[in-house]
Amino acid sequence: MNWKGGQRKWRNLAKLVDAIALAQTDWRDVLVGADFAEDPLAHESWWPRAGGD
């Protein structure tokens, strides 16, 4: 394997490691911080409204 091919392989491996770390994130704190914990319909307020409101 030439150096360029090996360099590309390690860059892809680093991206995979980053993706795995992101997937292992505990998103519960993020959802609580976004006020999704108390209101089961809170996500609806995040949808764009017709007309850009």
Work out the end-to-end distance of the chain between its first and last CA atoms, rounded to an integer number of angstroms. Answer: 55
Q: How many domains does the chain have?
A: 1
Residue type, 23: A
3-state helix, strand and coil shares in percent for the chain, rounded to the nearest 5: 65, 0, 35
- Tens-digit pLDDT profile for residues 1-53: 455 666 777 788 999 999 999 889 888 888 888 778 888 888 788 777 776 65
Residue 4 confidence (pLDDT):
61
Measure the CA angle with vertex 44, ends 40 and 49; round to 5°.
170
How far apart CA 4 and CA 7 sit, in angstroms, is 5
Per the structure, the complete domain to which residue 44 belongs is given by 3-52
